[in-house]
Amino acid sequence: MTGLSPRQALWLLCAFALIWFSNLDYRTLVKPDEGRYAEIPREMVVSGDWVTPRLNDLKYFEKPPLQYWATATAYSLFGEHHWTARLWTGLTGFAGILLVWFTGLRLYGREAAGYAALLLCSSLLYVLIGHINTLDMGVTFFITLGISGLLLAQVQANQKKQRKWMLVAWAGMALAVLSKGLMGLILPGTALLIYCAVQRDFSVMKRMHWLPGLLLFLLITVPWFALVMKANPEFFERFFIYEHVTRFTTKELGRYQPWYYFIPILLAGALPWTILLLNTLLRVIRNSKLPDGMFNTQRFLLIWAVFIYVFFSVSGSKLPSYLLPMFPALALLMGNYMVWMKSDALYRQIVPMLLVALGWIGLGLNVGRFADNPAQAVLYPQYAPWLIAAGLILLSGLWFGLRLLRDDRKQPAVLVLALASLLSGQIGLSGYETVARLRSARHIAQAISAEVKPSIPFYSVLTYEQTLPFYLKRTFTLVQYQDEMAYGILQEPQRWIPTVEEFVKVWAAKREALAIMPTNIYPKLLKLELPMTIIFQDAQHTVVKKP
C-alpha cells in the first residue's frame, strides 16, 4: 500500500503471516476431507509408492497426486503432525495472497495491489479453506497462477516478456491439473474462449505461444499420468471418464444441491466485503470498456468469476469450496475499484457489517440451543467463548475502521478491517477444537493405542472413520462397507470382507483381533455370539478386542 516504508511493509507482512500460520497445528483433524488427505500421503511414505495413491491401502484415483506428494514430503522432513498435514493448504493459501498482490501491482498499481491482497486474506471463505486440509486451495493457487500469467502476458508489448509470462500461465495450468484434474486446464481455457466471444476478438489466441507452452504443459503433466496408467490400466476410465464426466453430470455422489445453493455461500464467503463485492461487479459490468485491440483484464476477471459460479451451479456435485477460484479474481477487481472509491462510500458499505458481528456474538451466546443430541449439548457451550471472542474482535475492528473512514483515512481503515476479519476468522476456526471430537477419532486413538499392534488385525465393521488411520498409523480391513473405496475394493476384493456373516467366521479363527463399529451395531454382533471385550465406547463408536 502507498504510504508504507519497505520496513513497515515487511513488518505488516510478518504480522499477517503469523496470524495466518498460527493455528495449523492447533486443531484436531476432522472427517472426511482432513482425515482422507492426511492419510493418503502417510500411506505413500509407508509404502514408498508415490505413483498409485491409496486410501486404507486401496487404490484411490479420485484426484491427482501433487498435494499428496507435497504432504508426504512434509511428513518425511518434519514428521506426521497436524501442521504438516495442513502445510500445503496453508502455504498455497498465503502464496495466493502474495500472487494477487504481485499481479495487482503489475496490472493496476501499488495501491490497488495492497487493497486486493488485504481483501483476499480477510474474506471469510478464503480464510476458512486456507486452514482446512482439502485440495481446493492448492488448485486455486495454481489456476490463479495460470490466469495471472495470462493477464501479465497479454498486456506486454515485448515479445520476450510475453513469452515468459505465457510459460508461467502454461505451468500454472499444468500444476493445477496435477492438483485436481482437468479442471485446471478446461476452466481457464473455457473462460478465455468466452472472453474472446464476448469481446469479438480472438487475436489473443495468436499470443498463446502454443508450441513452447504445450511442450511445458506436457512435460509437467504427462510423466505421472504415464506411470500411473502403466501400473494401473484401469486408471484411464476411472479418472478421466468417471471423475470428470460422471461426477459433473449426475447426482451419484449425493452432493446435489439446488441451483441457488451458492448464493448464500458467495455472500457469506465474501464477508466483511460482501456489499463491496456486489458494488464492484456492477461497476465492472458497466465500466470495463477499452479501445479495440487491447486485452481487457478487468473484463476477463469478471468473466472468469461469473463462469466459475455458473459452471458449478449447474454441476450435479456442489460443495462450498468449489467457489474458491473466484476469490482471487474478485479481490483484484475490488482492489482496483477501491482505489477510486471515496471513504464515505466505503463507510456506507461497511456499516451493515456491524449486524454481522452482532449476529456472530448472538450465535455464540445461543450456540447451545443448536444441539440435537447429548454429546452436542455438552460440547457446544464450550464453543461459545470462542465465537463471542471472534464476534467482539470483528465488531471492534469494524468500529475502529469506520471511525477511520469517517476521518477520510481509507488505507489504514482497510488495513484495520482486514486484520480484524482475519483474526476473527482464525479465532472462530480455532475454537472448533472444542467440538472437534464429534467429527474426529483422535480421542479414540488415544484411548486404544496401547492395544493396537501392527501384528494384530483390525477390522472396521459397517463404518470407516476417516481420521482414525492417521492417528493410529495403520489401515483397516473393511467389513460390509465400501463408500468411496468401492472402486478400490472392486480392483482388489481380497482386501475386504463383504458381509458381517463372513466377518464372524474370520473373527472366530483369529487368536487376537480388534474391531471398530458404530455403537448401535454392537448389540447386533452380541446376538451373533461374537466373543468381544469393549476397550472403548462412546455415543458414536465402539471398539472391541477378542478376549
CB 118 within 8 A of CB 97: no
Hey, how many other C-beta atoms are within 10 angstroms of the C-beta on 281?
17
Q: How confident is the model at residue 290 (pLDDT cuts 50, 70, 90)?
A: low
Lowest mean pLDDT among 27-31, 232-236, 305-309: 232-236
| Beta-strand relationship, 541-545 and 514-518 | antiparallel
CB 405 within 8 A of CB 344: yes
- Residue 183: CB partners within 8 Å, gap ≥ 6? 139, 176, 177, 244
The secondary element (H helix, E strand) that includes residue 253 is none
Tens digit of each residue's pLDDT (9 = 90 or more) over 302-333: 999 999 999 999 887 789 999 999 999 999 99
CB neighbour class for 444 (10 Å; exposed up to 12, middle 13-18, buried from 19):
buried
Residue 47 CA neighbour count, 13 Å, CB half: 19
Residue 249, pLDDT above cutoff 70: no
Map out the domains of the chain as residue ranges: 92-233+253-341, 348-437, 442-545
Predicted pLDDT of residue 237: 87
Q: Region 413-433: what's the mean pLDDT?
A: 97
Tens digit of each residue's pLDDT (9 = 90 or more) over 411-420: 999 999 999 9
Angstrom distance (rounded) from CA 304 to CA 166: 18
Predicted pLDDT of residue 317: 76
Residue 293, pLDDT above cutoff 80: no
Residue 4, pLDDT above cutoff 90: no
Grouping H, G, I as helix, E, B as strand and the rest as coil, residue 454 is: coil
Residue 265, pLDDT above cutoff 60: yes
Predicted pLDDT of residue 135: 97
Residue 177, pLDDT above cutoff 60: yes
Q: Region 130-140: what's the mean pLDDT?
A: 97
Residue 255, pLDDT above cutoff 70: no
Q: How confident is the model at residue 259 (pLDDT cuts 50, 70, 90)?
A: confident
Q: How confident is the model at residue 256 (pLDDT cuts 50, 70, 90)?
A: low
Predicted pLDDT of residue 92: 98
Among 80, 396, 422, residue whose Cα is nearest residue 273: 422
Residue 243, pLDDT above cutoff 90: no
Among 183, 12, 57, 7, residue whose Cα is nearest residue 474: 57
Residue 445, pLDDT above cutoff 70: yes
Predicted pLDDT of residue 257: 77
Tens digit of each residue's pLDDT (9 = 90 or more) over 500-528: 999 999 999 999 999 999 999 999 999 99
Q: How confident is the model at residue 71 (pLDDT cuts 50, 70, 90)?
A: very high
Q: Region 229-248: what's the mean pLDDT?
A: 82
Grouping H, G, I as helix, E, B as strand and the rest as coil, residue 251 is: coil
Residue 289, pLDDT above cutoff 80: no
Angstrom distance (rounded) from CA 24 to CA 37: 15
Residue 252, pLDDT above cutoff 70: no
Angstrom distance (rounded) from CA 347 to CA 357: 16
CA dihedral 312, 313, 315, 316 (to 10 degrees): 130
pTM: 0.95
Q: Region 358-374: what's the mean pLDDT?
A: 94
Residue 88, pLDDT above cutoff 80: yes
Angstrom distance (rounded) from CA 373 to CA 375: 6
- C-alpha pair distances (Å), 168 with each of 95, 144, 164: 15, 11, 7
Tally: H helices and E strands in the chain: 25, 8
Helices 159-180 and 183-199: crossing angle in degrees, nearest 10, is: 130
Helices 136-154 and 82-108: crossing angle in degrees, nearest 10, is: 20
pLDDT above 70 covers a percentage of the chain that reads 96
Q: Region 455-461: what's the mean pLDDT?
A: 97
Q: Region 129-150: what's the mean pLDDT?
A: 98
Angstrom distance (rounded) from CA 502 to CA 99: 55
Q: How confident is the model at residue 78 (pLDDT cuts 50, 70, 90)?
A: very high
At residue 237, what is the residue type? E
